[in-house]
Amino acid sequence: MNRTKMPIILRAHHLLCFLGFKGAGYSKEFVENFERVYKSVYLENAPITIVSFPDEICRCCPNLAATECRFEGKVKMYDEKVVELLKLYGLSDLEDVLPSEAYNVLKKVLPQQLESICRTCEWFTLGFCRESFYRKDLWKNG
Ligand code: SF4
Ligand code: SF4
């Protein structure tokens, strides 16, 4: 797709993290950066390239050690499961896509399928993410 704006590199599972975001995070710098990316991607629908490696959000995370997340094995598995669902439900090209296209696909996924991806995440027990998976208005522009 030809767009003038460079796509934002985004880990696939961060599409889910945006849904239940309540301003909490690992550090002040992390939250400020997360809010910036959240605004561009989730609220303003800036183009993204969906990946399974550290992204624009990880860049300011205290858990990023050198080139990998401290929990890389676990989070990569989240990414791969989200990518699998995106492809299964109709989004084959993950490069330079609009977030609204990705969320339109994720809307077709059962909340229980999303829960099963996130169950081992430390934030899951707080309930915000789980609740967001059941919201009907997952994507405002979708
Ligand atoms: S449970 Fe964790 S991985 Fe899942 S959406 Fe929430 S913060 Fe993201
Ligand atoms: S915990 Fe890992 S995957 Fe999540 S934002 Fe931090 S570095 Fe990225």
21 in contact with ligand 1, CB cutoff 6 A? no
Residue type for 63, please? N
So what's the pLDDT on residue 140?
A: 64
Residue type for 101, please? E
Strand partners of residue 11 = 51
* pLDDT of 142 higher than 60: no
Domain limits of the chain? 8-132
Atom 5 of ligand 1 has which residue's CA nearest to it? 17
Which of ligand 1's atoms lies nearest the C-alpha of 122?
2
Q: What is the pLDDT of residues 59-106, one digit of tens each?
A: 999 999 988 999 999 999 999 999 999 999 999 999 999 999 999 999
> Does the predicted model carry a pTM greater than 0.85?
yes
Phi-psi map region of 104: left, alpha, beta (phi>0 left; psi -120 to 50 alpha): alpha
14 in contact with ligand 1, CB cutoff 6 A? no
Within a 13 Å sphere around the CA of 70, how many CA atoms are in the beta-carbon half? Answer: 5
Helix (H) or strand (E) holding 11: strand 8-11
DSSP-derived pairing of the beta strands 68-69 and 64-65: antiparallel
Q: What is the CA radius of gyration of the chain?
A: 14
